[in-house]
Amino acid sequence: MSFMGKFKRFWTAEEVPRWFGLSLVLVYLVGLGSVGYLTVCQVREESAVEYFNTQRYAAHSLATQLATIASQYDNPASVQASGEYQRILRKFASNVHTHSLRIVGDSRRVYASIIADEIGQLCRRVPGTAAAANITNPGHIFELPANDERGAAHYFQTKIAQRVTPHEPKTSPATDNNDSHPSTDTKDPNDSKTTTATTQIVEAIYLEAVLPAEPLRTTAFVDYAGALSIALVVIGVLFVLYRGLRTQLRSVSAIADRLQSPIDAIKGDLAALRMADTQDAVATAWNQLVELAADLQEEVNRAQANRELSAALAGSSGTVLAKALNAMPDGLLHFAHEGRLEYINAPACRLIGCSEDEAKSTTLGTLKSNDLGKRILEVIQKALRTDGTFEAYNEIIETADVDNAYRTWVIPLQGGRQEGEAIVLVRDVSQALRADRSREDFVAQVTHELRTPLTNIRAYAETLSSGMFDDPKMVTDCYNVITKETRRLSRLVDDILSVSQMEVGSIELELGDVDLKQLFSDTVTDLRGLADEKNIDLQIQPPSKAGRIKGDRDKLSVVLINVIGNAIKYTPEGGHVIVGCQVAEDEITLTVKDNGLGIDSADHVRIFEKFQRAEDPDVQNETGSGIGLYTAREIVRRPGGDIDLMSEKGQGSTFLVRLPYEESRADAMSVSREA
Amino acid sequence: MARIIIAEDEAHIIRILSMWLQRNGHEILEARNGKMALDIARREEVDMLITDVHMPTMMGFELVEKLRTELKKNIPVMVLSSSCERGRIETTLAPHNVRVYPKPFTPSRIVAEIDDMLSAHAV
């Protein structure tokens, strides 16, 4: 940066290197001091010169006058009595600043003086004066610089001739040797230029004046210099004040600049008014003020938003919005800061256990609630921070009987005037939770179910391949187990796949011609082994009207196997299972009747849901995935059929599978009923 | 030569394990559920228990717990499990000093494992 740049910054009290500022100040002070000193010296010199000139003139004039008077007297003593001498001396003294002025004779007797007491006295010797003044040179003016006890002083001495005898007064006084050049008397004392008789000096008398050397007045230069010094001092003082003020005012001017923005822009962004971080006290105070204003504005906006939202929600009664909010199944609440309740819909009132009136003007802590409500409010409380705002949170509450579950979401509002407030949603998730738990249980059970046949297959396969057991019966048994377990595994996989397909609704029926009798026969073959294991009497009554129907053979096979397989599974040893088929005009009914465990009426609906089984312990003792009946019903419902159940616990069960009957056009043969 | 209880509701598994273990000289006591296994353990001197987890009447967890706390039998116990439950089973049965073995298993390997456990316990 150039010198001028630095100087400009210095002048405007901006930051510059300290050395620069100090240098400028030093130069200023030295200059000021130098000017002052020079002025003083000049004043002294000039005034001294002026003074001397003035005194010389005055002394010369005085001496001339005195000599004229002296020539009129015969002796010095007459001078003493001369009032003329006194008058002239006093006149001189009044015009010239002098300490003493007197006429002194050779004998040092004072003949005249401006100090009356000295007249007639012997005066003391003035230090430095020549004791033997040149008496032979009357009329000379001597300048004798001398000091006395009062300080520097200059003396003038002049000689005034004193005649012995009086003459007629002459026109030309014996003063032509009164010149103003001290010590340059070149006149011969005996060479008088007067035309009068020679004056005989009886006694020389001297004019003795003590004049101070102090300057009497200043010249124009001194005036200017003095004024300049004063001006420089004043400027210096003002500059210091200016710099001090500017530092303070800089912050204020910056604030003023920021406030030049349009008021709307300021309102929209108070934070922009902040000053950059600074040590300056004014800027710090301003920033605090801006923050306070921003907080207040936010508070006002928040309150305004609250009023608008509450008015919209509350005032919406009777409108579509209010109806919708009250009709939704979920509880909805709006909490403002510090847990103030702004809105609650009807479902939330029911869940929490309060009326709309009771909920008015309440807070989290004061809202009336039942047991469930209390727990819901506790969840909301967990999301309330110490500063009164909400954070995101959700939690499931399960009722004591574990039958119902409610998930509570606390959703904080982001941005804008509602920052920190929260919308709370309370949703009944009982069904979803049950479904989740069922699914988890199902996965565990399915895994177990899948691994069991796999274990068997693997174990028996290794047994075969090890060759350790070469008994032929053993070998045959191993093969049989492997085969059976493979089928079991395959069926299970199909069931699980069907369930998945049904979940996404993608099950497709491949319609074809289905020979009912054949279908029955194949099913019985598959299940005969299972029935024989438990010594169950499996009776198959062929269809009353044999024939072919339109349907999906594989899916129908699944239905039969699941329903009949269940009957066999849940019938104790020695029981019976009877399978029949009635063909009506437009419907086929398959009946599967057993004398097994029976199903409690409370479970009649459950057992058709996926992953659900009867809660009967005897049923639980049997392994099952809980999807057989669900699968069967889904398959049957696709073409418009259904499965009905008649059963009581301990009294066996009868399942009725009803299917719409559409005779295949390809074959319309009739089958006689078998005995 | 050890007396081993096998608690398993799946008949084929009991059968195949019995075959292999008997071939190795062990005596097998079969139980189709946990309750039956506990009854056997109560009245008989046995050297080892092999049990499934999911069984009717009494699950494998309860069987093991009762074996240790009520019957105070410190015999080696092997629990057959599906691998997806292995972590849970190990955590639940950790205080009872059991070994968890995954299904499906290879008979030869599981028999070797059982022999190891018996030998280690004997020491």
Of B10, B84, B85, the CB nearest to A452: B10
Tokens of A587: 């419907």
Whether A561 contacts A523, CB under 8 Å: yes
Of A444, A485, A620, the CB nearest to B56: A620
Lowest-pLDDT range, A15-24, A44-53, A81-90, A178-187? A178-187
Contact B10 A448 (CB under 8 A): no
Whether A56 contacts A141, CB under 8 Å: yes
- Which of A113, A108, A150, A160 shows the shortest CA–CA distance to A129? A108
B16 chain-A contacts, CB cut-off 8 A: 456, 459-460, 463
Contact residues, B window 50-69, toward A, CB-based 8 Å cutoff = 53-54, 56-57
Q: DSSP assignment of A290-352, as one string?
A: HHHHHHHHHHHHHHHHHHHHHHHHHTTTTSHHHHHHHHSSSEEEEE-GGGBEEEE-HHHHHHH
User: In CATH, which of 2.60.120.1060, 3.30.565.10, 3.50.50.60, 3.30.750.24 is domain A508-660?
Assistant: 3.30.565.10
Q: What is the mean pLDDT of residues A649-660?
A: 90
Within an 8 Å CB–CB cutoff, is residue B107 touching chain A? yes
Contact B103 A485 (CB under 8 A): no
The model's pLDDT over A29-52, given as tens digits with 9 standing for 90+, comes to 888 888 888 887 887 777 777 766
pTM to 2 decimals? 0.43
In this predicted structure, what is the pLDDT of residue A175? 41
Of A444, A451, A458, the CB nearest to B106: A458
Contact residues, A window 416-475, toward B, CB-based 8 Å cutoff = 443-445, 447-448, 451-452, 454-460, 462-463, 466, 468-469, 474
In this predicted structure, what is the pLDDT of residue A344? 92
Question: Mean pLDDT over all residues of chain A?
Answer: 77
- What is the C-alpha separation between A24 and A1, in angstroms, rounded? 16
Contact A457 B104 (CB under 8 A): yes
B53 chain-A contacts, CB cut-off 8 A: 448
Check pLDDT > 80 for residue A28.
yes
Nearest CA in chain A to B17: A459
A657: which residues sit within 8 A by CB, 6+ positions away? Answer: A559, A563, A589, A590, A591, A592, A632, A636, A641, A643
Contact A458 B10 (CB under 8 A): no
In this predicted structure, what is the pLDDT of residue A482? 92
Q: What is the mean pLDDT of residues A608-621?
A: 67
Apex A353 CA angle, A351 and A356, nearest 5: 100
**For residue A274, which amino acid is it?**
R
In this predicted structure, what is the pLDDT of residue A137? 62
Lowest-pLDDT range, A246-255, A570-579, A612-621, B78-87? A612-621
Check pLDDT > 90 for residue A621.
no
Of B9, B23, B107, the CB nearest to A459: B107
Secondary structure element (H or E) that encloses residue A543, with its range: strand A537-543
The CATH fold assigned to A439-505 is: Helix Hairpins (1.10.287)
Q: Report the CATH architecture of A317-428.
A: 2-Layer Sandwich (3.30)
Contact A452 B56 (CB under 8 A): no
Mutate to test the interface with B, among A441, A443, A451, A613 (most CBs of B within 10 A): A451
Of A448, A455, A458, the CB nearest to B54: A448
* Domain spanning A1-185+200-259, CATH class: alpha beta
In this predicted structure, what is the pLDDT of residue A133? 47
Same fold, A317-428 and A508-660: no
Lowest-pLDDT range, A136-150, A531-545, A549-563, B25-39? A136-150
The Cα of B96 is separated from the nearest Cα of chain A by a number of Å equal to: 23
The model's pLDDT over A270-305, given as tens digits with 9 standing for 90+, comes to 777 777 766 677 778 888 888 888 888 877 877 787
Check pLDDT > 90 for residue B88.
no
Contact A447 B107 (CB under 8 A): no
Contact B10 A456 (CB under 8 A): yes
Where do the structural domains in chain A lie, given as residue ranges?
1-185+200-259, 263-306, 317-428, 439-505, 508-660
In this predicted structure, what is the pLDDT of residue A174? 43
The model's pLDDT over A318-366, given as tens digits with 9 standing for 90+, comes to 577 888 888 899 999 999 888 889 899 999 999 999 988 888 888 888 8
pLDDT-derived band at A183 (thresholds 50, 70, 90) equals: very low
Q: What is the mean pLDDT of residues A145-162?
A: 60
Contact A444 B84 (CB under 8 A): yes
Taking each helix axis from N to C end, the angle separating A220-258 and A281-314, rounded to the nearest 10 degrees, works out to 20
pLDDT-derived band at A21 (thresholds 50, 70, 90) equals: confident
- What is the C-alpha separation between A464 and A481, in angstroms, rounded? 11
The model's pLDDT over A94-147, given as tens digits with 9 standing for 90+, comes to 777 677 788 887 778 888 888 888 888 887 765 545 544 454 566 666 666 555
Contact A459 B106 (CB under 8 A): yes
- Beta-strand runs (E) in A69-122: 100-105, 110-113
In this predicted structure, what is the pLDDT of residue A347? 93
CATH (domain of B115): 3.40.50.2300
pLDDT-derived band at A154 (thresholds 50, 70, 90) equals: low
Contact A454 B103 (CB under 8 A): yes
3-state SS, A508-535, equals CCCCEEEEHHHHHHHHHHHHHHHHHHCC
C-alpha pair distances (Å), A141 with each of A156, A179, A649 = 7, 7, 164
Contact residues, A window 482-541, toward B, CB-based 8 Å cutoff = 485
Q: Structural domain tally of chain B?
A: 1
In this predicted structure, what is the pLDDT of residue A135? 47
* Residue range of the domain that includes B41: 3-122
pLDDT-derived band at A407 (thresholds 50, 70, 90) equals: very high
Contact A462 B108 (CB under 8 A): yes
Of A457, A466, A620, the CB nearest to B108: A466
Q: What is the mean pLDDT of residues A69-80?
A: 72
Tell me the range of A36-40, A189-193, A258-262, A314-318 where mean pLDDT is highest.
A36-40
Contact B12 A460 (CB under 8 A): yes
In this predicted structure, what is the pLDDT of residue A533? 82
Of B19, B33, B104, the CB nearest to A455: B104
Percent of residues, chain A, with pLDDT higher than 90: 12
Tell me the range of A349-363, A520-534, A543-557 where mean pLDDT is highest.
A349-363
C-alpha dihedral sign at A211, A214, A216, A220: positive
A622 chain-B contacts, CB cut-off 8 A: 56
pLDDT-derived band at B63 (thresholds 50, 70, 90) equals: very high
- What is the C-alpha separation between A207 and A62, in angstroms, rounded? 9
Within an 8 Å CB–CB cutoff, is residue B42 touching chain A? no
